[in-house]
Amino acid sequence: MTSVDTTIQRIRLTGAPADELCTTDLVEAPWNFDTVPGYGPGSSMGDVIPVGSPRQGQLPAEYRTASPEELDRRIRAAKAELGERLVILGHHYQRDEIIEYADFVGDSFQLANAAQTVPNAEAIVFCGVHFMAETADVLARDGQAVILPNLAAGCSMADMADIDSVTECWEQLEALYGTEPDADGRVPVIPVTYMNSSAALKGFCGAHGGIVCTSSNAKAVLEWAFERGQRVLFFPDQHLGRNTAKAMGVPLELMPLWNPLKPLGGNEEQHLHDARVLLWHGFCSVHRRFTTAQIDQARAEHPGVRVIVHPECPQPVVDAADEAGSTDYILKAVAAAAEPTTFAIGTEINMVTRLAAQYPQHTIFCLDPVICPCSTMYRIHPGYLAWVLEAFVRGEVLNRITVDEGVTATAKLALERMLAARPAG
């Protein structure tokens, strides 16, 4: 007997056909995967799981069998008892049943910053995915514990670039380009990692003159990088890199894709010499589902529709949309619409359905007719939240995410460079 998983059911009740789910995993309770061999951070619809990933053990039965009402009562009681000793952060892509307990709701970097505004909290419970909890730990004060309620909440995109394959790529690039700056003082290549990456890769960037970016500030970060380097190595998300550089006027033919499984990433030497941006072969399994055919259909069915997509979508989709921007951009665009408007949004379904509920004066729907939440965000369920909170009340810290001290220093440097590169406003 398991408690009811209400997110998918609610989505169905709001009009989606019951059979239109992108994976049958989503009708199962997340704890059915707790002991699946190999299941860990990043496992998403068959992705390879990095060796050494921490594993989520079986959630105790009392949390698996509790009704939603009982979990609600227990979470609220634990929160009330802990007061300001603990803060709960909720990413926009989390289900409503988690967001309702969050002290802060935002994107990954907003939440990492929010964690810094509560220096007195002994613990930060990050209802998001693994790389976000790592970033919070990098920025947290000494002694503050960062807790990820379910260790299986990884990010398949983040896992598409790991420290070994990026280091190997870097060595090949150094052998090809050398390390000497040009006459303008620009080094051959600057590494740029998207926030959606492991702390080890943020540390790599910090240690190699590089920087972190988010989907909100990718343009400012690329400008920073081009001032200092002849080229950029951008990982793990090819789409954010391509969309941002294209909007800045970089021709597509100067953006080769780097396949880490092939020598020189599968490229000719001359192509790499000419390159301005080397794009890692990574993508988000949620955002790559959006297509230009969906946009055509939305325009045919809803004349005048305003199509906004996330820049993790493929470049033809971004080109066909009216606008592209981060989760924060999308939220602000909807909030700022003065007249009743029809929006077709290309991002994760939980955020889209919440926007639709929040702004009933507008018609808001997801571009993808198939219901496809981020399957790793989905691993955070109230059962896991109740489990870690009640343990903390008893003095136990479960599922703590700790970044190595050596990595923390250089990862922080790359994050600080990003903050300095961020344009005002």
Q: Which residues are annotated as a binding site?
A: 91, 108, 155, 194-196, 215, 284, 310-312, 327, 374
CB of 28 to ligand SF4, least distance (A): 18
Which residue lies nearer to ligand SF4 by CB, 306 or 310?
310
Name which of residues 74 to 113 contact ligand SF4 (CB under 6 A).
93
Query: Given candidates 110, 197, 215, 285, which one binds ligand SF4 under the rule CB under 6 A?
Result: 285
Does 238 bind ligand SF4 (CB under 6 A)? Our answer is: no
CB 114 within 8 A of CB 104: yes
Does 59 bind ligand SF4 (CB under 6 A)? Our answer is: no
Which residue lies nearer to ligand SF4 by CB, 155 or 364?
155
Burial of 124 (0-12, 13-18, 19+ CB in 10 A): buried
Query: Given candidates 78, 136, 155, 161, which one binds ligand SF4 under the rule CB under 6 A?
Result: 155
Which residue lies nearer to ligand SF4 by CB, 59 or 284?
284
For residue 60, what are the contacts with CB-CB under 8 A and spacing of at least 6? Answer: 387
Name which of residues 377 to 416 contact ligand SF4 (CB under 6 A).
377
CB of 129 to ligand SF4, least distance (A): 5
DSSP annotation string for 117-170: T-TT-SEEEEES-HHHHHHHHHHSPTT-EEE-S-TT---TTGGGS-HHHHHHHH
What is the Cα–Cα distance from 193 to 212, expressed in whole angstroms? 5
What is the pairing mode between strands 277-280 and 232-235? parallel
Q: Is 422 helix (H, G, I), strand (E, B) or coil?
A: coil
Token readout for 424 is 């005002």
- The annotation places the binding site for iminosuccinate at 91, 108, 194-196, 215, 310-312, 327
Could you tell me the CA-to-CA distances from 47 to 38, 100, 282, 375, 395 in Å, in that order?
10, 30, 12, 12, 35
What is the Cα–Cα distance from 23 to 38, expressed in whole angstroms? 18
CB of 334 to ligand SF4, least distance (A): 19
Phi, psi at 371, each rounded to 5°: -80, 115
Could you tell me how many residues of this chain bind ligand SF4 (CB under 6 A)? Answer: 14
CB 140 within 8 A of CB 124: yes
Does 157 bind ligand SF4 (CB under 6 A)? Our answer is: yes
Burial of 289 (0-12, 13-18, 19+ CB in 10 A): middle
Does 284 bind ligand SF4 (CB under 6 A)? Our answer is: yes
Does 66 bind ligand SF4 (CB under 6 A)? Our answer is: no
Does 326 bind ligand SF4 (CB under 6 A)? Our answer is: no
Query: Given candidates 34, 107, 348, 368, which one binds ligand SF4 under the rule CB under 6 A?
Result: 348
Q: What residues are paired with 234 via a beta bridge?
A: 192, 279
Which residue lies nearer to ligand SF4 by CB, 93 or 280?
93
- The annotation places the binding site for [4Fe-4S] cluster at 155, 284, 374
Name which of residues 181 to 220 contact ligand SF4 (CB under 6 A).
196
Chain residues in the site for ligand SF4 (CB under 6 A): 44, 93, 129, 155-157, 196, 284-286, 348, 374, 376-377
